[in-house]
Amino acid sequence: MQKLLMVIVALGVFSFLPSSATAVCDRSAHVVRVTIQPNTAASYIYYRDSALSAVYWVCTTNDAKLLDAALDAQNGLTRAFIRGDAASCPTTPDTGQRSAGNCLLVLVNP
């Protein structure tokens, strides 16, 4: 009985430890614009869920590989999986721009 109590107490203590999970904003979308600004802190990747969507997403980066992947998706008219570091994907506004934070990943579908 004492062992069982110790196991329950140990599990309870571990549940109070901080979690290492990070929140992100993942979207599968079409890249509609890439704005590259040389010698600046950040460039922008604009994307939307569909051609008819009234909302577009934007994330910032200065990583040349992420920008190249976004340009490949835009020029190839293919969907891309884009991950931003926003705590979650914003749900407002109903039209216009929503920020996904800093770009972490751009995967271009074949």
94 occurs within a structural domain? yes
Distance of alpha carbon 104 from alpha carbon 63, whole angstroms: 9
State the total domains in the chain: 1
33 occurs within a structural domain? yes
CB burial string 49-66: b at 16+ within 10 A, e below: eeeeeebbbbbbbeeeeb
CATH of the domain at 56: 2.40.50.110
Q: Which of 88, 81, 82 is nearest to 22 (CA)?
A: 88
Segment 73-83, tens digit of pLDDT? 999 989 999 99
18 occurs within a structural domain? no
Segment 19-74, tens digit of pLDDT? 445 689 999 999 999 999 888 778 999 999 988 899 999 999 999 999 999 999 99
